[in-house]
Structure 1
């Protein structure tokens, strides 16, 4: 995967269940490509399991100069000294005080109302999705480019599109106002 082909900021989002090789080997391959960042999104792990894995992923990211963004587990992120966290909107609602301890707070949003709420609660960026059809959301219709355009017009934060993003459609997301894209399957299945 060539990052320059996307002409925008590209973030890798992990899901170790999609990997064909050992997960940390895949993270190393991703880091070698130097995306804008790697979001460690392993929601099925307990916090202690997540913290152990996060320490290893942060080490890989440091070696390659790639930003590491931890997901959901704020205490683990603070314990590991990670200044970046990504939260589901529901967790943000209950963690406004804790999130002030982070430099960057990304939030997943699925509607314009959620985007405005996240902005009002202090998020520093948004991940909006899912924009295109994706195997990760089988049976759920994508929200599409009009949704992304409207969301980008109505918030004053960087917005990153997620869901079915590839080289062919990433430009459509950027043209709609997104500051970049997030890719899961493309990175997790990358050879």
Structure 2
């Protein structure tokens, strides 16, 4: 399984959603153009997150979409997820690689050129770069300019995903950065019609990244 031709990346957010709404948004996304899903779950016990991950993986497996787990290597291993996504305060990429082995995806958050190069050198398979725009998620974000996004893409040889407040009507802002895809949270998870939102986003992202 490769990361090529997976331009739309969904990061989950359970905040203010019922379980039914949460799982429905993920399924509608996977049915309508999402190529990667990252389970980002900060609240709950390890058991609760594990059980949630199992349910999400049932959906992603159905549509052959790789599931990545945010932060938690133990949960990723427990559910045999496709890999993990690591932030700057999580385990270093090279340590995670030693634990997970060569066949799992490891993504890394990078907000600067230095962080991006370091993550690639340590063995990251892809980068999430942003926030490009202010976000409504309950996660601390630091603004990253489109200029920096473009420089990171030029400097590394692994896929780069832009993240942060991106929607179908503003994704053209990253047009010149030549990234591999876009990661979104609220644009699908909080959409009234997640299927329509995913379709529109997929089309807009493909146009923006060329």
| Partner in structure 2 of residue 143 of structure 1 | 144
Check 1:8–1:86 CA distance in 2 against 1; reply closer, same or farther (3 A cut): closer
| Partner in structure 2 of residue 17 of structure 1 | 15
TM-score between the two structures when normalised by the length of structure 2? 0.78
| Alpha-carbon distance in structure 2 between the residues aligned to 1:140 and 1:91 | 15
Residues matched between the structures, number: 185
Q: CA deviation at 1:72?
A: 1.2
| Alpha-carbon distance in structure 1 between the residues aligned to 2:68 and 2:134 | 25
Greater mean alpha carbon deviation, residues 18-27 or residues 143-152: 18-27
Moved over 4 A (4+): 137-141
Check 1:138–1:76 CA distance in 2 against 1; reply closer, same or farther (3 A cut): closer
CA contact 1:174–1:180 (8 Å) conserved in 2: no
**Residue deviations 1:54-93 (CA, integer Å, cap 9, x gap):** 0000001112222211211111211211132111133242
| Alpha-carbon distance in structure 2 between the residues aligned to 1:17 and 1:134 | 14
TM-score between the two structures when normalised by the length of structure 1? 0.85
**Residue deviations 1:116-173 (CA, integer Å, cap 9, x gap):** 1111111000000101222337996732211111111111111000001111332332
Greater mean alpha carbon deviation, residues 137-146 or residues 168-177: 137-146
Q: CA deviation at 1:33?
A: 1.6
| Alpha-carbon distance in structure 1 between the residues aligned to 2:125 and 2:142 | 27
> SS in structure 2 opposite 1:105?
strand
| Partner in structure 2 of residue 182 of structure 1 | 183
Q: CA deviation at 1:22?
A: 3.1
Greater mean alpha carbon deviation, residues 54-63 or residues 65-74: 65-74
Q: Which runs of 5+ in 1 are unaligned?
A: 1-6
| Partner in structure 2 of residue 134 of structure 1 | 135
| Partner in structure 2 of residue 55 of structure 1 | 54
| Partner in structure 2 of residue 4 of structure 1 | none
| Alpha-carbon distance in structure 2 between the residues aligned to 1:120 and 1:92 | 15
| Alpha-carbon distance in structure 2 between the residues aligned to 1:46 and 1:82 | 18
Q: CA deviation at 1:187?
A: 0.9
| Alpha-carbon distance in structure 1 between the residues aligned to 2:53 and 2:102 | 18
CA contact 1:51–1:76 (8 Å) conserved in 2: yes
> SS in structure 2 opposite 1:24?
helix
Q: Which runs of 5+ in 2 are unaligned?
A: 194-210
| Partner in structure 1 of residue 205 of structure 2 | none
Aligned-CA RMSD value? 2.4
Check 1:115–1:18 CA distance in 2 against 1; reply closer, same or farther (3 A cut): farther
| Partner in structure 2 of residue 81 of structure 1 | 80
